[in-house]
Amino acid sequence: MELPNPDPRPEGEVRELERIWATPRGWRLVTAVNNTIIGLLYLGVAFLFFLMAGVLALIMRTQLAVGDNRLIGQDLYNQMFTVHGTTMMFLFAVPAMEALGVMLLPQMLAARDLPFPRLSAFAIWAYVVGGLVFFSTIFYDLAPKGGWFMYPPLTLTEYSPGDNADFWLLGIGFIEISAIAGAIEIVVGALRTRPPGMSLSKMPIFAWTMLIFASMIMFAFPAVILATMMLEMERAFGWPFFTAALGGDPLLWQHLFWFFGHPEVYIIFLPAAGLVSMIVPTMARTPLVGYRLIVVALIGIGFFSFGLWVHHMFTTGIPALSLAFFSAASMTVAIPSGIQVFAWIATIAAGREGLRMTTASLFVLGFLFIFTLGGLTGVMVAMVPFDYQVHDTYFVVAHFHYVLIGGFVFPLFATFYYWAPLFSRRPLSERLGRWVFWLMFIGFNLAFLPMHLTGLRGMPRRVWTYPGELGWDLLNAVSTAGSFVLGAGVLLFLIDLAANFRIGKGGVENPWGAGTLEWLPNDVYSTRSIPYVTSREPLWDRPSLPQEVQEGHHYLPNAPTGGRETIVTSPIHARPQYVIQMPGPGWPPFLAAIFTAACFLLLTVKLVTIATICGVIAVVFCLVWAWGLDPGPSKGVIQVAKGVRLPTYMSGPTSHSWWAMVVLMFVAGSLYIAYIFSYLFLWVVSPEVWAPAGSPSPPSSRWPLSAGALLLAGSGIVWLVSQKLEKVAASRVLVAAVLLLSLACLVASLALEVEGHLTTGLRPGDNAYGAMVYLGVVLFGQLVLALVVMGPFTIARHVAGKLDAVRRVTFDNYMLLYHYTVAQSLLGLGLIHGFPRLIG
Amino acid sequence: MKEPAPQPVREPPVASAILFLLTGPILWAGHLTLVYAFQSVTCAIGAFPSAATVIPAFVALATLVAAMVLLVAIWAPGRLTRYRSERGENQTFLRAVSRLLSVLSLTGVLWTGSAAFALDACGRLR
């Protein structure tokens, strides 16, 4: 193979790269955006949450060790199991996986960084602040008590007064937004910043899993964001979405929650499986068996997991045939899961020299054992009659801990031991690691295996104590002892971490002899040059690659734009398309995250005015941040390899900005589909009381027709400007006028929609129908609000000479969101005004 | 004078590639949504006096149609989405993944559809 840059490189290029990618020092460290720095912070904080939620678990196990125990009271116990579950799912598992994505993905793809480093920084700081404040509520008797799934009616104001539930709803809702921001970064990163030659068929399995993980977040999280919005609206303003007496239905919450909640299990498991698929071939010293089948399994699981949510609701009275549809899907998903397990076993068996028994290997084997058992009990609870017997018992607690700790925590510890040398000057101790593994493995099985029996003997979940004479004491005592052994394993890991983990470079390069790109020599700028990839294990197939990359013989061995940059490649074949210029460290994402967190958290305690001020400040910082983006084509065309010249600017459908906006529109679309489902669900479950019976008729058709005409007019105006931007851009007044006119159309359309419903006398607090109608208006309104901010920003960019027919990314983003808003709102008008007329 | 920017390398539209790859799972999702929605709405509003016949018939029809389309997707991947890409290892990989996903989806569709013949259309377990 001819090298992309065969000639010797000039002196000074590496020093220039080091200067450009240098990590800020001292208190400016919080402004860092390098994926290795913020990824480590992200992972560290996620692990802190794991430890804190683990301590809660130990306290709960101590309380349950014997019957009739009075160590802690019922109220505190309720807060503890809620915070334990919520923290493990929302503040540990998903963030830890996003953190690994941020940390490892650019290294595995040999990209200098992910395409939106400041977005990652924003997401991480928002999560850190929001998560810590949420967790601290346990110390002030302010923690929620409704379980990690917060079912109404228990969580409605009548049964959960005070601010406790609001901390969950606003705090977690906000952290979900942070997770979505991370997901956008990962989707665009995995598809567009792969090294040249790394077509989809050569992508590391971890990159596949992160791509599917992030796509699942895009479609799953909006459902629970909508649900939390609805529950908070009911609690704060009395919009009765979940109150049966007013046409609402508590089961609506369960549908929305589990439409998120079940994929969430796979959102956690898939990246962990990806990590295992990276570790096993290295330790078995042979390529992964069944790469293609594993990709099929990952995509299959990603899809099928969205068809399983009702299996959490088998006992809610849903018709048997509906249950059977979801039971079938629940069993179907076992097939791709099994494919992966067999592929790993086959890879281990295929290794001619056997599996190297490192600590990472032990954790992988532990994962295989525990997760397989959890999968088998999963098939058991997928069967409706069996689920009826064990629903809400400790059997289910045992099952999901086998799946989650086996399927996620064990691979995570394997990851710590396997990838630590990439970020630390010293590897973690193999000797201590083996102790950590055995303590955790024995402790885990001792803690959770007996729970199957405890559950089969009838012990329900979420009880703070139980009568001593029921025969559950011994099993519970064993579980408690096991949990402390597990805890001892984690404690020993912390000792290992303190003794050996030292952030920095200088350790052994590629200590395991792995074949993937993250083990290339790298520094703050990632690899010296971006390799041309010709196989799935490039380091095995081309032993000279590390040296070639280090000597700058591959792509982009320097920094021709004088700033941070990486190569953007085509999504399928990974052919170089252009060079993306990326922003460096800065205060705006950090401050925007702090004030966004403050806004949400202050709303929780009803400090509306200060919260609003914080929200406005956050938006201002976001605008300051966005002002520095879209650098324009001033750097021209640069040479990235011999005979390969790439532009340094791109707009339109090829650009990463366009891609991020489209991903965001998918997220918004998912949320709106969840809304449509909710609207129709309330009609389906109680058509006899659903409006218009008892409610005013919808407004006359003049209102929606006028609103719709305005929307179409606005869309037409924006389309025309887009087509004629070259001519229109010459006039500052004209651009401002037409963009303001398009905004006026939107605002007027929204006003007509609100006024139309108000004139009928319908109010959101009247009944669930009214609440749903006005929720549609709220969803319309929030998009309009976003455009009202983006419109003047676009005009300001044009006035400042930062927007023209070529440098048009800001306008394109406005245009995309505008057209999306129009499409969603027209659909909404059709639903809200058409459906009541249709059913008469 | 500035050098004109080279045009980025063109590939088939990503949307068509995604549809090509995910034909099977999308059909599976469509089938599940359709049969679940039809059965739920029919039972809830009592649209048909003979729901016990209509629902299994509808599920059977939907399953048959979905299975036929999936068989086409297995037999000739890309025919439904008209996706064409240059030949090579990547294309072979994508075709195989698409085909296998369709096989998996066919299993799911048949498994789901078969339930309609075993259970009461609107009955509850308690």
d(CA A428, CA A451): 33
Q: Does B120 touch chain A (CB under 8 A)?
A: yes
Q: What is the pLDDT of residue A311?
A: 83
Task: Look at residues A66, A77, A70, A74 and name the one whose alpha carbon lies nearest to residue A469.
Answer: A66
Q: Summarize pLDDT for B3-22 with one digit per residue, the tens.
A: 555 555 567 788 888 899 99
Give the range of the structural domain holding residue A759, as residue numbers without chain letter: 657-839
**HSE on the CB side for B118, CA within 13 Å?**
12
3-state SS class at A436: helix
Cβ within 8 Å, pair A335-B107: yes
- Which positions 5-64 of A are in contact with B (Cβ < 8 Å)? none
Q: Enumerate the β-bridge partners of residue A500.
A: none
Q: What ipTM is given for this predicted complex?
A: 0.92
Spatial distance between the Cα atoms of A352 and A368, rounded to a whole number of angstroms:
21
Provide the shortest C-alpha distance from residue A57 to chain B (in Å): 35
pLDDT of the residue at B48: 66
Q: What is the CATH number for A815?
A: 1.20.120.80
A105-164 residue pLDDT tens = 999 999 999 999 999 999 999 999 999 999 999 999 999 999 999 999 999 999 999 999
Which of B8, B111, B125 is the closest to A331 by Cβ?
Answer: B111
Q: Which residue has the higher pLDDT, A81 or B3?
A: A81
Alpha carbons A715 and A816: distance in angstroms, whole number: 10
Residues of chain B with Cβ-Cβ distance to A335 below 8 Å are: 104, 107
Which residues of A are less than 8 Å from B55 in CB distance?
321
Are A452 and A575 contained in the same domain? no
Given this model, what pLDDT does residue A692 score? 62
Least confident stretch, A191-195, A661-665, A786-790, B39-43: B39-43
Q: Are residues A467 and A613 in the same domain?
A: no
**Closest CA in chain A for residue B25:** A303
> Which of the four pLDDT bands, split at 50, 70 and 90, describes residue A330?
confident
Could you tell me if residue A491 is inside a domain?
yes
- Measured between CA atoms, how close is A317 to chain B, in angstroms? 6
Model pLDDT, residue B15: 87
**Within-domain flag for A526:** no
d(C-alpha A573, C-alpha B20), whole Å = 15
Burial A563-599 (b: 16+ CB within 10 A, else e): ebbbbbbbbbbbebbbbbbbbbbbebbbbbbbbbbbb
pLDDT given for residue A353 in this prediction: 86
Does residue A19 lie within any of the structural domains? Answer: no
- % of chain B at pLDDT higher than 90: 51
How many Å separate Cα A28 from the centre of its chain? Answer: 27
> Is the CB of B45 inside 8 Å of chain A's CB atoms?
yes
Rg over alpha carbons for chain B, rounded to the nearest Å, is 21
Under DSSP, the state recorded for A293 is H
Provide the pLDDT for residue A85. 96
Using the beta-carbon criterion (under 8 Å), do A321 and B119 form an inter-chain contact? yes
| pLDDT tens track for A283-312 | 999 999 999 999 999 999 999 999 888 888
Q: Which chain A residues have a beta carbon less than 8 Å from that of B121?
A: 319, 321
Mean pLDDT of chain A: 94
A805–chain B Cβ distance below 8 A for any pair: no
* Residue A249 placed within a domain: yes
Give the residue from A621, A647, A673 where a domain finishes. A647
Neighbours of A141 (CB within 10 A): 11
Higher pLDDT residue, A691 or A429?
A: A429
Are residues A790 and A662 both part of a single domain? yes
Q: Is the pLDDT of residue A383 over 90?
A: no
Residue B1 has pLDDT above 50, yes or no: no
Give the residue from chain A lying closest to B1, CA to CA: A636
Domain assignment present for residue A21? The answer is no
Residues A581 and A718 in one domain: no
Q: Which of B6, B122, B123 sits opposite A647 (nearest CB)?
A: B6
| Residue A832, domain member (yes or no) | yes
Asked if residue A286 lies in contact with residue A341, where contact means CB atoms within 8 angstroms, the answer is: no
Which of A119, A173, A167 lies closest to A144 in space, CA to CA?
A: A167
The number of beta carbons lying within 10 Å of the beta carbon of residue A751 is 13
B87 at the A interface (CB within 8 A)?
no
pLDDT tens per residue, range A607-648? 999 999 999 999 999 999 999 988 888 899 999 999 999 999
Tell me the per-residue pLDDT of A221-253, one tens digit each, with 9 for 90 and over. Answer: 999 999 999 999 999 999 999 999 998 999 999
Residue A545 has which token pair? 């690659």
Token digits for A50?
Answer: 């794991």
Q: Which uninterrupted H or E stretch holds A223?
A: helix A205-237
Query: What is the total residue count of chain B?
Result: 126
**Domain presence at residue A541:** yes
What is the count of structural domains for chain A?
Answer: 3
Q: In this structure, how many other beta carbons lie within 10 angstroms of the beta carbon of residue A535?
A: 14
Is the minimum CB–CB distance between B60 and chain A shorter than 8 Å?
Answer: no
Domain ranges of chain B: 16-78+88-117
What is chain B's percent helix, strand, coil content, to nearest 5?
65, 0, 35
Torsion of CA A791, A793, A799, A803, to 10 degrees: -90
pLDDT score of B6: 53
Quote the minimal CA–CA distance from A295 to chain B in Å: 7
Alpha-carbon distances, residue A80 vs A54, A567, A790 (angstroms): 11, 47, 42
pLDDT digits (tens, 9 = 90+) for A531-560: 999 999 999 999 999 999 999 999 999 999
Q: Does A837 touch chain B (CB under 8 A)?
A: no
A616 and A744 fall within a common domain: no
Chain A nearest C-alpha distance from B82 (Å): 17
Interface contact A318, partner B, CB < 8 A: yes
Domain ends where: A647, A669, A697?
Answer: A647
Whether A308 and A355 share a structural domain: yes
Is A570 at the interface with chain B, CB within 8 A?
yes
Which H/E stretch holds residue A639?
strand A637-641
Closest partner CB to B9 (pick from A199, A292, A575): A575
Q: Chain B: nearest CA to A301, how far in angstroms? A: 10
Chain A residues touching residue B119 (CB < 8 angstroms) = 320-321, 324
> Which residue in this structure is represented by tokens 């006005």?
A774
Distance from CA of A562 to the nearest CA of B (A): 18
Residue A660: partners with Cβ closer than 8 Å, 6 or more residues away: A115, A116, A184, A188
Q: Which residues of A touch B11 (CB under 8 A)?
A: 570-573, 575
CA dihedral (A107, A112, A113, A115) positive or negative: negative
* Cβ atoms B118, A324 nearer than 8 A: yes
Q: Is A400 on the interface with B (CB under 8 A)?
A: no
Mutate to test the interface with B, among A321, A578, A680, A688 (most CBs of B within 10 A): A321
Indicate if the pLDDT at residue A840 is higher than 80: no
Note whether B32 contacts A329, CB cutoff 8 Å: yes
A299 in contact with B, Cβ within 8 Å: yes
Q: What is the pLDDT of residue B2?
A: 46
CA angle, A815 then A821 then A822, to 5°: 90
Whether residue A645 lies within 8 A of chain B, CB to CB, comes out as yes
A503 pLDDT higher than 60: yes
pLDDT at residue A403 is higher than 90? yes
